[in-house]
A = this chain, B = another copy of it.
Amino acid sequence: MTESDQASASPVQALLDGLHQRHASDFSGEVASYIPELADADPSLFGICLVTAGGVTYETGDTRHRFTIQSISKPLTFALALEAIGEEGVRQHVDVEPSGDAFNSITLQPGSGRPPNPMVNAGAIATTSLIKPLGFEKPIDRILNEYSAFAGRDLDVDQDVFISENRTGHRNRAIAYLMKNAGVIDDEVEDIVETYFQQCSTLVDCHDLAVMAATLASTGVNPVSHQRVLREDTVQSVLSVMASCGMYDAAGDWLYSVGLPAKSGAAGGLIAVLPGQLGLAIFSPLLDEHGNSVRGVKVCEELSKELHLHVMSPARRPPPPIRSNQTVVQCRSRHLRQEAEQHLLTEHGSKTRVIELQGEILFAAGELITIAVLKDIEELEHVVLDFTAVRDIDPIVVPIISHLADALDDAGATMVFADVDRHPAFAEAVEKTRQEAGLPAVRQFPDLDLAIEWCEDRLIKQWSDSDHDREIAILDHAATVGMDPGEVEELSSRLERREYPAGTRIYEQAGDVDEMLLVVKGDVNIFTVGEDGHRHRIATFSEGMTLGEVAMLSGRTRLGFAEAAGDVVAWALAEKDLTDLKQRNPAMVCTLLENLVKLIAHRIGNLSRNLAA
């Protein structure tokens, strides 16, 4: 299915088509008349284009008809100026206050002589004056280069429109000379207004504008070309000014009723941005008394109402940062424990809290995590924070989490991180904070399972004196429970001793399934290789447990491959020997099989609990 087929099959498309149909017959308003090229515009032209932050395009009507960008250039050049000379430099030349005046207001601030904001002509001319060629032949080349990155294609100036604008733009020239007089602009007025008229005469279509808007929606990355066009902080500044001043003297009403940062142009273009989600552009040359496209304003109003796009909409609540908050009683590692140890974990596991985080961890999320932990900090021994489902962490959360780690220290508890590797800046910053305070680093584990296992190990060590380094005898192995010494001896005579140093591969997933192992010393990890190419532990077995008996008895492929975690000793029982023993001593084999079922039952219990958690 091609991308355009997808779009045409979609209800979003139907929505835009419906809007287009509803407003196409509205011929209220007037086309701009200050130059013949605009006055000649066909008033029936009408296009709507929506580009999502995911880069999907929906369009209806005249979305590929070219027209001049006009004032929609203003936020783009403001962005370029911010990145060229920085926030402070730009603010010396232009303020960010809505003027309540029309787009061509000549009012400058008393004292500073600065224009009120970069969205009125005066402010835009001041902003344009800040763009130096810097490696390009002329300022306009640098500007066009930026606009082209925004659109994702090479843009050009319409020379006829430029010549007309330049010939008739006396008011803008007057504004520029006033600013020159006030010392707000430095360079030659004629050069600056020429560049300004050129940038306003850049040819775009409705689709280009929607891609530009979507670039502002996608934190500055063009979602079609995937090129980063702006820094994130620049995007915030540009959207703020569009929100307060983008629609001239109708800006307050716009923010109130539409609630989207937006900008209109005299040729009939209009862009609106829903941060993080979508860019919208409308093209229709009929303008209202504020100079905004009549159909454009109506489409935005209806879309905002119908789709609840308003930035202040109460529907836009952030998701809770805590995906789950459990204890080791409910949520166990894949390390299969001895019965006695299981009981210990059930008894004392409530002191180990396992918190899965999710989404963007910003300030308020950090605060919620803190509250969730502090609530019963006195009863805690470990807190595992799992970052697997976290998309992003704000640097402000560093001190919050560091302080939380300190509070846990003070309460005699320990914080550990799982899967924090994907947020290295955060992890490093927390480590640095701890280091500077002379505190040990927060322990990190590559995944939640290993983090929980470490807490379990500590818990078991604390509450039991069992010694896992000792090799157990075959007659102490769970597989031989209920056998008399003669039976154990008969079984032993068929067993072959194996020693696996730490790290040895014990069996492959796809290997033969013609034997099983009775582990008498050490831990064995079972891993699978996931779709991501990484190994994932599915279980760990210890001394007293068996390995490979399910695969051997059922003839099924193993669930994973086995590797010695430490030095491992095990006794192998071949399938043919089991078959043979069944003939010779079926009662002993019955006991063995019953014991194996018990061991498997233990495993099923663990799997079921983890599935429930």
A333 within 8 A of B: no
Q: Please give, as numbers and ranges, the residues of chain B lying within 8 Å of A15 by CB-CB distance.
A: 399
A128 within 8 A of B: no
A310 within 8 A of B: yes
Instruction: Establish whether residues B362 and A315, one from each chain, have CB atoms under 8 Å apart when the complex forms.
Output: yes
A608 within 8 A of B: yes
Interface centre among A312, A378, A601 (most CB of B within 10 A): A312
Residues A308 and B556 in contact in the complex (CB < 8 Å), given A240-B255, A255-B243, A404-B11: no
| Contact stretch, chosen from A140-148, A271-279, A488-496 | A271-279
CA distance A244 to B240 in the complex (A): 10
Which residues of A235-283 are within 8 A (CB) of B? 235-237, 239-241, 243-245, 249-253, 255-256, 259, 261, 274-278
Which residues of A51-87 are within 8 A (CB) of B? 52-54, 56
Which residues of A456-506 are within 8 A (CB) of B? none
The distance from the CB of A352 to the nearest CB of chain B, in whole angstroms, is 19
CA distance A1 to B378 in the complex (A): 8
Instruction: Establish whether residues B54 and A368, one from each chain, have CB atoms under 8 Å apart when the complex forms.
Output: yes
Nearest neighbor of A12 in chain B, beta-carbon distance: B367
Instruction: Establish whether residues B314 and A252, one from each chain, have CB atoms under 8 Å apart when the complex forms.
Output: no
The distance from the CB of A603 to the nearest CB of chain B, in whole angstroms, is 7
A407 within 8 A of B: yes
Nearest neighbor of A393 in chain B, beta-carbon distance: B315
Instruction: Establish whether residues B400 and A1, one from each chain, have CB atoms under 8 Å apart when the complex forms.
Output: no
The distance from the CB of A451 to the nearest CB of chain B, in whole angstroms, is 17
The distance from the CB of A561 to the nearest CB of chain B, in whole angstroms, is 14
Which residues of A392-434 are within 8 A (CB) of B? 392, 394, 396, 399-400, 402-404, 407
Instruction: Establish whether residues A601 and B554, one from each chain, have CB atoms under 8 Å apart when the complex forms.
Output: yes
A534 within 8 A of B: no
Nearest neighbor of A378 in chain B, beta-carbon distance: B1
| Contact stretch, chosen from A94-102, A181-189, A192-200 | A94-102
Q: Please give, as numbers and ranges, the residues of chain B lying within 8 Å of A12 by CB-CB distance.
A: 367, 370, 400
A376 within 8 A of B: yes
| Contact stretch, chosen from A160-168, A172-180, A583-591 | A583-591
Instruction: Establish whether residues B95 and A98, one from each chain, have CB atoms under 8 Å apart when the complex forms.
Output: no
A364 within 8 A of B: yes
Instruction: Establish whether residues A367 and B607, one from each chain, have CB atoms under 8 Å apart when the complex forms.
Output: no
CA distance A318 to B100 in the complex (A): 33
Instruction: Establish whether residues B549 and A314, one from each chain, have CB atoms under 8 Å apart when the complex forms.
Output: no
Nearest neighbor of A274 in chain B, beta-carbon distance: B364
Which residues of A360-397 are within 8 A (CB) of B? 360, 362-364, 367-368, 370-371, 374-378, 391-392, 394, 396
Q: How many copies does the complex hold?
A: 2
Q: Mask for A518-549, Cβ within 8 A of B = 1, else 0?
A: 00000000001000000010100000000001
| Contact stretch, chosen from A22-30, A149-157, A201-209, A592-600 | A592-600
CA distance A276 to B368 in the complex (A): 13
Q: Please give, as numbers and ranges, the residues of chain B lying within 8 Å of A582 by CB-CB distance.
A: 587, 590
Instruction: Establish whether residues A377 and B54, one from each chain, have CB atoms under 8 Å apart when the complex forms.
Output: no
The distance from the CB of A354 to the nearest CB of chain B, in whole angstroms, is 16
The residue from B314, B318, B403, B555 contacting A220, defined by CB atoms under 8 A apart? B314
A340 within 8 A of B: no
Q: Please give, as numbers and ranges, the residues of chain B lying within 8 Å of A308 by CB-CB distance.
A: 362-363, 394, 396
Instruction: Establish whether residues B374 and A1, one from each chain, have CB atoms under 8 Å apart when the complex forms.
Output: yes
A553 within 8 A of B: yes
A510 within 8 A of B: no
A612 within 8 A of B: yes
CA distance A163 to B508 in the complex (A): 89
Instruction: Establish whether residues B403 and A528, one from each chain, have CB atoms under 8 Å apart when the complex forms.
Output: no
Instruction: Establish whether residues A360 and B317, one from each chain, have CB atoms under 8 Å apart when the complex forms.
Output: yes
CA distance A22 to B604 in the complex (A): 59
Q: Please give, as numbers and ranges, the residues of chain B lying within 8 Å of A596 by CB-CB distance.
A: 597
CA distance A232 to B374 in the complex (A): 32
CA distance A235 to B612 in the complex (A): 40
Residues A236 and B550 in contact in the complex (CB < 8 Å), given A11-B400, A100-B97: no
Residues A252 and B611 in contact in the complex (CB < 8 Å), given A219-B314, A587-B582, A600-B604: no
A436 within 8 A of B: no
A313 within 8 A of B: yes
A169 within 8 A of B: no
Q: Please give, as numbers and ranges, the residues of chain B lying within 8 Å of A612 by CB-CB distance.
A: 528, 536, 538
A129 within 8 A of B: no
CA distance A399 to B11 in the complex (A): 7
The distance from the CB of A377 to the nearest CB of chain B, in whole angstroms, is 7
Instruction: Establish whether residues B256 and A252, one from each chain, have CB atoms under 8 Å apart when the complex forms.
Output: no
CA distance A554 to B597 in the complex (A): 7
A358 within 8 A of B: yes
List, sorted by A's number, 18 A–B pairs whose CB atoms are closer than 8 Å. A6-B375, A9-B377, A98-B100, A243-B243, A274-B364, A275-B316, A277-B364, A307-B394, A308-B362, A308-B396, A315-B362, A528-B612, A538-B608, A550-B601, A554-B601, A554-B602, A590-B593, A607-B611
Which of A's residues lie within 8 Å of B, judged by CB?
1, 6, 9-12, 14-15, 52-54, 56, 95-101, 116-117, 219-220, 232, 235-237, 239-241, 243-245, 249-253, 255-256, 259, 261, 274-278, 306-319, 358-360, 362-364, 367-368, 370-371, 374-378, 391-392, 394, 396, 399-400, 402-404, 407, 528, 536, 538, 549-551, 553-556, 559, 582-583, 586-587, 589-590, 593-594, 596-598, 600-605, 607-608, 610-612
The 3 closest A-B pairs by CB, nearest first: A11-B403, A586-B586, A97-B252
